Chain A
């Protein structure tokens, strides 16, 4: 069975700080990897996804993630966060099927 670990449960940053959220997955086969975001009061939306090809994936709002197969990792990064990035971030994987397995989420708070 596949599983996803997100190491940071709560992160507080000041505006303009750099962000890196860790995500590791456990699955022996080919995976598709996703980062979803849930802004306060809104529903889940996709930030970025990796299916194949270039392991450095760029998403919306300046986010990017790097798939490192040898480390089973798919960390999310943003060089300079904004107050509007305050949200909950979920890493997710599909492997051997289409259902998403999610990590426990990371609450990001960006302070002005």
Chain B
């Protein structure tokens, strides 16, 4: 079956521009996660959506980062006024997770963001 998909696969932008990254989770998965993979910081959690609950935004590094999930499915991660340190691979994952129980997270291929 279809896995997690992300678009674009690569994005090059200029410092100060806004970018939007998209994630399509596996159909039926109620939980959706965004992570960031960078050379200096490794793999870091950014934000987590579970059903209709308020998202866990505890990993967002600054108020320039935001995310939304429409209709409990597709999610968009927005980075405003991009900085060079935002350059990284942004990974999306989904799981059928029930609240309070850890489940396997299925990862997408990522979006490689380069800020010039």
Residues of A bordering B, CB below 8 Å: 32, 34, 36, 42-46, 49, 51, 90, 92, 94, 97-105
CA A42 to CA B109, docked complex, whole Å: 7
Q: Does residue B65 face the partner (Cβ distance < 8 Å to A)? A: no
Interface of B is mostly: strand
CA A101 to CA B31, docked complex, whole Å: 16
Interface size on B, residues (CB 8 A): 27
Contact A98 B107, beta carbon cutoff 8 Å: no
CB < 8 Å: which of A44, A45, A46, A102 contacts B42?
A: A102
Total of A-B residue pairs, C-beta within 8 Å: 54
Contact A43 B109, beta carbon cutoff 8 Å: yes
Known: A90-B43, A105-B42. A98 touches B104 (CB 8 A): no
Q: Does residue B85 face the partner (Cβ distance < 8 Å to A)? A: no
Smallest CB separation, A10 vs chain B (Å): 14
